[in-house]
Chain A
């Protein structure tokens, strides 16, 4: 199946997994940091919010590496699009367009709602696919296994409900 992005062929899963593993290990071996991206939301929040939670030392200390890393994620996506056929803003969402067919306003509302679940859920769980799924599971941490099973379950139930029940 081609990617939504310019209809490109995706990397082989093993190549992608090996690359993500190498980068995760590089972050630990060189930077002495455990991979984790969802705390990046708190980093951004801490720039404007003044509550105790966003003033804790551990958060302010990690901002120094995570903010540039997150900016890099945006840059990586930009370079991927630019090198793969040119960068251009797009509303394309693949099967969402065919099956659900919301216009721009509906898409923004749907994505915003999804984002609320992501932001609140990842912080309540203490991590996301990167911090729990890749790093925590690799480091054999029980909370990470529990969280990974939980978010996979939440995702499976939701997608099955949307695509096999509601729009079917």
Chain B
């Protein structure tokens, strides 16, 4: 099964690379309201994924016949605070998490620094989890903030 996920990731990365989603100029163009490209990509992806998820959940079974399980994410103060912080980082680096990996593959050297920062940022978050828990009303540590 690992090979299937590797293949899926490769295709996903190729599309991110060739669409502008992993391109510094297109990310700034989106935030400057000068380029429609990224709004079009995210908008059309959501418009097509939404009915797809609805159909799969209605069907209720995966391809192999197992029950479809979609664990939902918790709502808490971290959504707004973390979202704002992530937005600052997305603008600064010109990449969100997927494109950090894609840009490393493309050979963009500075993306390695973004990955180093992201790993340390995520490591710091996990390390400080119990201290951030009350302020942001985060779920128990076994649950975490959700996979995404």
Residues on A lying within 8 angstroms of B by beta carbon are 1, 3-5, 8, 10-11, 13-14, 16-32, 34, 36-42, 44-45, 49, 51-54, 56-59, 62, 64-66, 68-81, 84, 87-96, 104, 107-144, 146-160, 162-164
Contact = CB atoms under 8 A, between A and B. Distances in A.
Contacts of A112: 113-114, 116-117
Given A126-B147, A150-B82, 12 more contacts: A1-B29, A34-B70, A58-B144, A75-B10, A77-B106, A80-B102, A111-B92, A121-B83, A124-B136, A127-B73, A146-B79, A159-B32
Interface in B1-50: 1-32, 35-50
Interface of B is mostly: helix
A45 B126 contact: yes
Nearest to A120: B121
Interface of A is mostly: helix
Interface residues of B, number: 123
B91 A154 contact: yes
Interface of B: 1-32, 35-50, 52-53, 56, 62-64, 66, 68-76, 78-98, 100-111, 113-127, 129, 132, 136, 141-148
Contacts of B85: 117, 120-121, 124-125, 154
Contacts of B52: 21, 24-25, 28, 138
